Amino acid sequence: MRRDRQPATIMKPSAPEHIARIIPYPPGKPIEELEREYGISGSIKLASNENPLGPSPKAVEAIVSATSKLHRYPDGSGFYLRKKLAEKHGLPLDTILLGNGSNEIIELVIRALLTPGDEVIMASPSFLLYSLVARWMGGTPIAIPLSADLGFDLEKMAGAVTAKTKVIFLTNPNNPTGGVIGKADFEAFLSRVPPGVAVVLDEAYIEFNTDPDTPRGFDYIGGKWPSVIVLRTFSKAYGLAGLRIGFGAMDPEVASFLNRVRQPFNTGSLAQAAALAALEDEEFLQKSLETTWNGLRFLYGEVEKMGLRYIPSQANFFLIEVPCEAKLVYEAMLRRGVIIRSMASYGMARFIRISAGLPEENQRFVRTLREVLAEISPVDSNGEEAHAAAPNLVPSGAQPR
């Protein structure tokens, strides 16, 4: 064989067009990565709506004792955790399905119900993963902008349904606005959506909500709304984001479809044991809620004192409008060891999102934001005044506590 010829072009595996075009999900920056990159220590992270208290001590104990069985595969169906959840929420066992975080249930819903070319409706801005997963599966995301008051435009969302629509995502409270959908609006919406279209009610932050008018997703399971799928997570109020455990509640036949496309051991034994124990730890849950509510109250007050506008929230985070590109604030805060989220990837270029932290973290955020804003000019790179195009900042259903 002659070796002096030009090598032929090396062929590599290549993704189809619908995959190659995807922009990956931008996760909140991990503390370790920031400290490695900037050579700093003692940083704080208020970027990913996590629980600042850490995990429930009872969950940690349960994990330690479950380690003796790590040589065994987990219970693939997560029977004991599902049973506990069914009892707690008054639901039949076969309506509950566990996921590797509620993110996985989002993926299972789309994988089980969608054929490439089908449409998935979601609000914009809302949780970015819905449109991303729809694209993974060759679906077409249809993003309906929030209304002028930053609430869900349920009229437009229902009006966007076509023969190709298979799934609609509603997020209650919404991420990133923290607004909630009222019960009457939700029910009017359900009655407009054709019965074969799944309506996913993502309640990742529902424990923090204090608005009594909010629908409780589980009330729509097992009754006259078989199209409703409720998502819950242990990542937020229960403080177990690192373990990856969440669940969905849905009609048993729909659950059986999702089960067909689920990995046999999608949730680990430590995650199942910890979630079971966390459900017993009412004291921790209550402390988490109070820490968040007190944190938000403090932060609202401080942000107001700075003359900034914010969006009151029913979740454990809220949006602040800054007088310049949010990216600049994000980067300047990073250099000072405070990780927050710029909302540029959500199409809100002048907003930052911050999760309520521990009192000392909240104080450090306020001090750092003051420093950063004093350093950055209030006039943006185009020379426009920052507040010129500010929207109305009170989303429907989200009143200050």
Ligand X SMILES: Cc1ncc(COP(=O)(O)O)c(C=O)c1O
Residues at the contact surface with ligand X, assessed by CB under 6 A? 49, 101-103, 127, 171, 175, 202, 204, 233, 235, 241, 246
Nearest approach, Cβ of 147 to ligand X (angstroms)?
19
Asked if 371 contacts 336 with a C-beta cutoff of 8 angstroms, the reply is yes
Peptide bond into 125 cis (omega under 30): yes
Least distance in angstroms from the C-beta of 50 to ligand X: 9
Which residue, 113 or 324, is less far from ligand X as judged by CB? 113
Maximum Cα–Cα distance across the chain: 79
The least distance separating ligand X from the CB of residue 128, rounded to whole angstroms, comes to 9
Nearest-angstrom CA–CA distance, 129 and 224:
28
- Shortest Å distance, C-beta 179 to ligand X: 12
Q: How far apart are CA 309 and CA 326, in angstroms?
A: 13
- Which of 296-313 are b and which e, b meaning 16 or more Cβ less than 10 Å from the residue's Cβ? beebbebbeeeebbbbbb
Comparison of 103 and 362: residue with beta carbon closer to ligand X: 103
With CA atoms as reference, report the closest residue to 328 among 368, 372, 285: 372
Residue 77 vs 171, nearer CB to ligand X: 171
* Helical residues (DSSP H) of 306-398, grouped into ranges: 326-335, 359-375
Query: Which H or E element spans position 120?
Result: strand 119-124
334 CB-side CA count, 13 A: 22
Identify which of residues 150 and 204 has a Cβ nearer to ligand X in the complex. Answer: 204
Closer Cβ to ligand X, 77 or 102, answer by number: 102
Nearer to ligand X, 98 or 255 (CB): 98
Q: Which residue is nearest to ligand X (CB)?
A: 101
Q: What is the DSSP letter of 385?
A: B
Token pair 């693939």 is found at: 76
CB-nearer residue toward ligand X: 332 or 340: 340
| Least separation in angstroms between CB 301 and ligand X | 25
What is the rounded distance in angstroms from the CA atom of residue 30 to the CA atom of residue 74? 28
Q: How far is CA 323 from CA 319, 378, 382, in A?
A: 13, 5, 13
Shortest spacing between CB 267 and ligand X, in angstroms: 11
**For residues 202 and 302, which CB has a smaller minimum distance to ligand X in the complex?**
202
Q: Whose Cβ is closer to ligand X: residue 225's or residue 346's? A: 346
Q: 374 CB contacts (<8 Å, ≥6 apart)?
A: none
Helices (H), 39-127: 57-66, 79-89, 102-113
